[in-house]
Amino acid sequence: MFLYLPYNTFLHRLHPATKLIGLILLLVVTVAFTTPAEQLPGLGFVLGLAVLSRSLSNLRRILPLVVTIMLFSSTTWSLFRRVGVPFWSFGPLSLSRESIQYGLAMGIRLDAMLLSGMVFVSCTKVEEFAFGLRALGLPFPVSFALSLAFRLVPLFFTRIGIVVQAQQSRGLDLQTGHLLQRARKYVPLLVPIFIYAIRDTDLLAMALESKGFGMRGTRTEYLRFPFGWRDAAIIAALLAADVIAWSGR
């Protein structure tokens, strides 16, 4: 993945399945709370993980997004949610102490989720992601399609750039025109991008078949990840956190 950071921290070394389950358990904790005071420790915990996994640099990259989400989420929920005694209202919009609190809490929740997702991608390679999914029971062809797609994205990115340049140099201008005209202008871009991608289908499929992909029998795995006491401990701790958070609601 683009965002993977090649460190060798405790988090990087976890079993891929642990990372996947852990991420979900962590996300479930963040959904349990509805006030900023309850949410903040969760956010702090995620930031702590970011420090441990040395992924702060990635977090910094999405800082603008994190800030806009915070602002957007807190304003919309504050205005639309009707709780408590409004001290201001206009049509369907109103503001109260409680609604503002709720808005802030939702903003933090969303941010905590984004950041935990970011920590996950910072310390998980694509092949580990796919391995984790297989370890959790996903059939091989499915995990393979997913990881192949990951590999192809940068390639397609480059190709899209070339197609855009090729059509620009033939005078394509996407900036002008009304909606339908603009839509038409996407055709000279989307057609070559699409055709060029799909044209490879048979080649890729042949190359796969040539390496025994069609066998669909028992496979062996080149990668091995030991499932250690750390993995068990992490899952147990997050599970406990989930139970506590949800029973305390």
Amino acid at the residue 168:
Q
Task: Give me the helix-helix angle, 140-168 and 126-135, nearest 10°.
Answer: 150
Residue 37 binding another protein, by CB under 8 A: no
Tell me, by CB under 8 A, how many residues bind another protein.
Answer: 112
Q: CB-wise, 91 or 229, nearer to another protein?
A: 91
Confirm or reject binding of residue 65 to another protein (CB under 8 A). Answer: yes
Stretch that binds another protein, among 7-15, 46-54, 178-186, 225-233 (CB under 8 A): 178-186
Query: For another protein, which residue of 90, 137, 195, 247 counts as binding (CB under 8 A)?
Result: 195
The answer to the question of residue 12 lying near another protein (CB under 8 A) is no
Indicate if the alpha-carbon torsion angle 55, 61, 66, 67 is positive or negative. positive
Provide the token pair at 20: 């996947």
Segment near another protein (CB under 8 A), from 10-18, 41-49, 58-66, 227-235?
58-66
Dmax over CA atoms of the chain, in Å, equals: 70
Selected from 214, 240, 243, 244, the binder of another protein by CB under 8 A is 214
Q: How many other β-carbons are positioned within 10 Å of the β-carbon of residue 166?
A: 13
In the complex with another protein, the residue whose CB is nearer, 125 or 230, is 125
Q: How far apart are CA 75 and CA 69, in angstroms?
A: 10
User: By CB under 8 A, which span of 13-21, 49-57, 73-81, 228-236 interacts with another protein?
Assistant: 73-81
Coil/strand/helix, residue 90: strand
Does residue 200 touch another protein according to CB under 8 A?
yes
- Determine which residue in the list 51, 136, 206, 243 makes contact with another protein, applying CB under 8 A: 206
Q: From the CB of 123, what's the least distance to another protein, in Å?
A: 13
CA distances from 6 to 3, 52, 54, 122, 201 (A): 10, 13, 10, 8, 32
Contact 227, 17 (CB under 8 A): yes
C-alpha 91/C-alpha 167 separation (Å) is 49
List 159, 225, 230, 245, residue binding another protein (CB under 8 A): 159
Find the binder of another protein among 194, 228, 233, 236 (CB under 8 A): 194
How near is the Cβ of 151 to another protein at its closest, in Å? 6
- Which residue shows structure tokens 């996950």? 120
27 binds another protein (CB under 8 A): yes
Site for another protein in 79-138 (CB under 8 A): 80-83, 92, 102, 105-106, 109-110, 113-114, 116-118, 120-121, 125-127
Per DSSP, helices labelled H in the chain are 16-32, 36-52, 56-61, 63-80, 97-123, 126-135, 140-168, 179-198, 201-210, 229-247
| Residue 234 touches another protein, criterion: CB under 8 A | no
